[in-house]
Chain A
Amino acid sequence: MNTMQVSFGEKKDNAAQAEHAVKMSARDVKVFYGDNEALHGINMDILENEVIAFIGPSGCGKSTFLRCLNRMNDTIDTARVTGLVTLDGKDIYDRSLDVVQLRAQVGMVFQKPNPFPKSIFENIAYGPRLHGLVDNKRDLDEVVESSLRRAGLWDEVKDRLEAPGTGLSGGQQQRLCIARAIAVSPEVILMDEPCSALDPIATSIIEELIDELKGSYTIAIVTHNMQQAARVSDKTAFFHLGNLVELNDTREIFTNPQDSRTEDYITGRFG
C-alpha cells in the first residue's frame, strides 16, 4: 500500500465535454491575519458544476482561500481580505451585496461535523426557516425530506427525525451537515476537509455523494488526501505557502505536474 494508486473518474477522460461557464472567480486575493499575510494574491476561476479540489501542505492557506468564497473570513476579527472575488460576475465583497444572501448561495461544510444540538429535523429546517424559503409545515417537511434524500441519509434517519442530530455517527453527522447546506438550495458548496474526521467507509460514502451532487452544484473541496482529490475532482489547485502554484485538470496535475513543488508534494517528498 505504499505506492499511490491514482484512479480517475471516467467523465474527465471525455475531453470533448462542453466548456463550463465561470461560476466564481478570484483576482489578486490577499488575506491578512493582523499583519501576517496568509495569501499572496490568488487568481482562480471556478467553473460551474465542476468539482475543484484544493490541495497543499498544512498551513498553506487552503481553508483561508475557501473561506474567502463565502466571506466566512468576516467572522474572524483579525482577518482582512483584499482583491476581487465574484459570483456570477458580481463582486461578493461589494457593499451592496448582502452576506446573508451570499451564504445562502454559497454553502459550507466544515472539517468537523458540527450539527446543532437540536433534532435532525430542526438541523435541516434551520436554513429554510432562516431565509423564509417555506411558509408552511408541509413545504418544510418536503424540503427536509428531499435534502436528506439528496444527502443519502433519508433511509437511515426517516424514523427518528426528532432524535438529536448529535446522536448520529460521525459520517452520518457529516451527511447531515451536507443536507443542511443543501436545504437552502445553494449554487456552490464549499467543503473544508469534510472527511478528515471520518473512517474510510464513511469517507467513501461522502465521496460518492459528492460525485452525485456535482451535476447540480459547483463544489470546492479542500482535502489532505490526494487519492480523494484524484477520485472526486475535475480540477485540482495546488497551494504552497500562501500561493496558488498550479491549477489544472486533475489528471494533468497528477500525471504531468508543471511545477517542481507540485511534483514534490504529490510524490510525497514533503507535506
Chain B
Amino acid sequence: MSNLVLMTLLLMVMALAYQLGLTRSKRVAVTTNGTGFRMHSRPTYHGMLVAFWAVVPAAAIFAVWSLAQPGIINALVLAQLPPEFQPTTDTEQRILLRRLANLASGFGLTEEAADYELAAAAYLNQLHGIGRTLMTALMAAVAATALVLAWRRIEPHLRARNQMESIIRWLLIICSTVAILTTVGIVLSMLGEAFRFFTFVNPLDFFFGTTWNPRFSTVGTDGQTGFGMLPLLWGTLMIALIALAVAIPVGLMAAIYMAEYAPSKVRSTAKPIIEVLAGIPTIVYGFFALITVGPFLNQLGASFGLEIRTTSALTAGVVMGIMIIPFISSLSDDIITQVPKAMRDGSLGLGATKSETIRKVVLPAALPGIVGAILLAASRAIGETMIVVLAAGNSPVLTANPFEAVSTMTVTIVNQLTGDLDFASPQSLVAFALGLTLFVITLLLNVVALVIVRKYREQYE
C-alpha cells in the first residue's frame, strides 16, 4: 500500500468519523431532550472532535514510524551480514546500503551481485514488507480505538466546542512555530557555514579586504587570498544609492500628487497601476535593463562625450530604482493621507498655499513614516539579485565611477554557488559569509524602518 493510498484512506476515515460523531450527537440530543438536557456544543463540533481523534493519532504514528523505520531496518540488515563482509568505514557502509537498496528495488545496478548481497537485499525487502504491514495495522487499530472512544464519549455535557477551540489554537501555534523555526534554522545554518568559512579566511581580511579575486588554490593550504568583501559591498551600496536617487524623487512626488492633488478617481486607478511595477518579475527588469536601458544610457552618454558601459552600476541602479518606486510611492501615499485634515486646515487657515502647506506641515509630519518607507525600499534594493546579475556587468572592482561595471554581494553569491561545488572549500563557503552579511544589513534596515514607522503611528492615534 503506497503512502498516497494510506493518506486517502485516512481522509475517508476522517469524513466517516465526522458523520458518525454528527449523527450520534444529534441522536443524543434528541433522546435527552425530553429529560430537559441541552447539548453543550452543536453537533458539528462533536463531529469535528471525533474526526480529529480518529485521524490525528494515526497520522502521528505514520509520521514517527516513517522517520524511524529506515534506520532500524538498515541496522537489522547490517547486523545479519556475514562478519567478513561487514563494512568498516562510514563511506563503505553508505555505499553498501545504497547498493542493497538498489538490488532490492531492482533498479540502478552496475555489476553482478554477490550471494550475500542478494540475501541481504531479500531480507531488506522482507523487512520493508513487515514494517509496512505492522504500521498499517497499528494505524488502523489506533484509529478505530480512538474513533470508538471519542464516539462513545459524546454526551450532552461534553464540551466539544471548547476542546475543538483549543485544538485549533494549538494547530495555529504549531504553524507559526514552524515559520519561526525555519527562520532560526536558516540563520543558524548560515552562521555555521560562515563560521567554517572563517576558519579558512581571516574575518578581518574578509570584511576589510579591498580585492575580490578568490582563486582555486588547494584546499587546506594557508594564505587564502582575494576574499576582500569591500568591492562587493561598495558595488551593492552604489547601485542601491543610484536606485534610491531615482526612486525617492519620483516615488515621493508621485505620492504627493496622489495624496494631495489627484481626484479620488485618478488616485484609485493610478495607485494600483504603479503598484504593478513591484509585481513585475525581476528577471524581466533584468532583460529590460540589458536590452533597452543599457544601450540607451550608452548612447546618451556618447552624445555627451561620456563613456557609459552598457552593463554598469548606472544601468542596474536606474532599473532597480524603477522597480522600487512603488515601495516608496505607495507607502508614502498612505502615510501622507494619514496626516490629519485638521493639520492642513490649520495651515490653510493661516493663509498658506497648498504647496506651502505640503512642504511645511504635511511632509514634516509625515517624514518619519516616509523615511521608514525609504529604508524598506533600500533593503529591497540591497537584496535584489536578478537585475544586477544581468545588468551590473559582474566586475568586482573597487571603483567610484558609476559608468563602470561593478558586482554586488548577491551576484557574487550566485557566481560562487553555480557550477561544480565543493562545499568544503572557501570558494563556496564564502557565499554563506556574504549572505550572512547581507542578511544583517537588510535586517538592520528593516528594524530601523519598522521602529520609525511605529513611532510615527503613535503620534496620531
Interface residues of A (CB under 8 A from B): 70, 72, 75, 77, 99-104, 107-108, 110, 112, 114-118, 126-127, 130-131, 166, 177, 180-181, 184
Partner of A117, one of B345, B352, B365: B365
How many interface contacts (CB-CB < 8 Å) are there between A and B?
65
Given contacts A107-B349, A130-B350, A180-B350, contact A112 B342 (CB under 8 A): yes
Partner of A108, one of B349, B352, B361, B459: B349
Contact at A114–B351, with CB atoms within 8 Å?
no
Bound-state Cα–Cα, A103 to B346, Å: 11
Q: Does B340 have its Cβ within 8 Å of any Cβ on chain A?
A: yes
Contact at A116–B343, with CB atoms within 8 Å?
yes
27 residue pairs bridging A and B, Cβ less than 8 Å apart: A72-B345, A72-B349, A75-B345, A100-B353, A101-B351, A103-B349, A103-B351, A110-B345, A110-B346, A110-B349, A112-B342, A116-B346, A116-B365, A117-B343, A117-B365, A118-B364, A126-B350, A127-B350, A127-B351, A130-B356, A130-B360, A131-B351, A166-B459, A177-B346, A180-B350, A181-B349, A181-B350
Partner of B348, one of A72, A77, A112, A177: A72
Contact at B342–A130, with CB atoms within 8 Å?
no
Partner of B351, one of A100, A116, A166: A100
Contact at A126–B347, with CB atoms within 8 Å?
yes
Partner of B344, one of A70, A75, A130: A75
Q: Does B305 have its Cβ within 8 Å of any Cβ on chain A?
A: no
Number of B residues near A (Cβ < 8 Å) is 20
Bound-state Cα–Cα, A72 to B342, Å: 12
Closest to A104 in B: B351
Which residues between 309 and 353 of chain B lie within 8 Å of chain A, taking CB atoms? 340, 342-353
Closest to B354 in A: A75
Which residues between 240 and 296 of chain B lie within 8 Å of chain A, taking CB atoms? 263
Given contacts A70-B349, A103-B351, contact A110 B342 (CB under 8 A): yes
| Chain B neighbourhood of A77, CB < 8 A | 263
Given contacts A110-B342, A126-B360, contact A116 B347 (CB under 8 A): yes
Partner of A107, one of B342, B344, B345, B350: B350
Contact at A130–B346, with CB atoms within 8 Å?
no
- A165 CB to closest chain B CB (Å) equals 11
- A162 CB to closest chain B CB (Å) equals 16
Identify the interface centre among A72, A108, A116: most chain B CB within 10 Å of its CB.
A116
Bound-state Cα–Cα, A216 to B109, Å: 106
- A240 CB to closest chain B CB (Å) equals 26
Q: Which 8 A-B pairs have the closest CB atoms?
A: A103-B351, A114-B342, A108-B349, A127-B350, A104-B351, A114-B346, A100-B351, A117-B365
- B455 CB to closest chain A CB (Å) equals 12
| Chain B neighbourhood of A115, CB < 8 A | 346
Bound-state Cα–Cα, A99 to B348, Å: 10
| Chain A neighbourhood of B365, CB < 8 A | 116-117
